[in-house]
């Protein structure tokens, strides 16, 4: 029986690298894969999953209107696996589609993304994945203090914490710092609004 997996972590933990390694493992064995990435994430090249260590692979972009199941089932060669980067940007309905891909069509789905935003709130896609995934896997990252980083602090150009704003603001190390809950809470207490 195929499963729906959710690999989650704070920013800069290596989620995309892990996804690309899984993709490589399938393809190395002659198996077809189907990769999706969020259209909103345009930090590198649109339609490309790129890791901070330089790995990259073309992917199909999704937005809130994308029917992931229809795209998957339209493939001429049935994929051995579906891999989704930036899964926090999925809608709840899209997560339901991914679950159906695994349950009804026997295709494993590996979704990679953030669990929470810069205010410690769940993203819609992450919340639904936490509810439905057969397997939840935390990819570990480290706070500057050495503890496990579980939170994503948004910072301004001067490195000062930002406590308010839109849930989604695309950025990497220049906009977000992975922290343990204690240091995240301390930083937000002194943040600008």
Residue set of the binding site for ATP: 9-16, 85-88
| Residues annotated in a binding site | 9-16, 85-88, 143, 145, 180, 183
Catalytic residue among 28, 86, 138, 173: 86
Let me know: does 113 contact 15? Beta carbons within 8 Å: yes
Partners of residue 139 on adjacent β-strands? none
> Which residues, other chains included, contact 126 with Cβ-Cβ below 8 Å and sequence gap of 6+?
6, 8, 87, 88, 113, 114, 115, 116
Please tell me the distance from the alpha carbon of residue 120 to that of residue 147, in angstroms, as a whole number: 17
Let me know: does 92 contact 32? Beta carbons within 8 Å: no
Is 86 one of the annotated active-site residues of the chain? yes
| Residues annotated in a binding site for Zn(2+) | 143, 145, 180, 183
Let me know: does 123 contact 89? Beta carbons within 8 Å: yes
Catalytic residues: 86
């Amino acid at each position: 029986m195929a499963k729906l997996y959710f690999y989650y972590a704070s920013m800069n933990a290596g989620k995309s690298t892990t996804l690309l390694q899984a993709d490589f493992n399938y393809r190395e064995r002659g198996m077809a894969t189907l990769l999706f990435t969020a259209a909103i994430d345009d930090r590198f090249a649109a339609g490309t999953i790129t890791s901070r260590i330089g790995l990259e692979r073309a992917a199909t972009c999704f937005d809130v209107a994308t029917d992931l199941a229809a795209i998957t089932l339209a493939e001429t060669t049935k994929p051995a696996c579906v891999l989704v980067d930036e899964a926090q940007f999925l809608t709840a309905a899209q997560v339901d589609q991914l679950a159906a891909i695994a349950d009804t069509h026997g295709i494993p789905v590996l979704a990679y993304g953030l669990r929470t935003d810069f205010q410690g709130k769940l993203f819609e896609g992450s919340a639904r994945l936490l509810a439905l995934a057969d397997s939840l896997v935390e990819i570990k990252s480290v706070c500057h203090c050495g503890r496990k980083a579980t939170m994503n602090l948004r910072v301004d150009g001067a490195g000062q914490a930002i406590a308010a704003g839109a849930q989604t603001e695309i950025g990497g190390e220049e906009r977000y710092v992975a922290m343990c809950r204690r240091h995240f809470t301390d930083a937000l207490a002194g943040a600008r609004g």
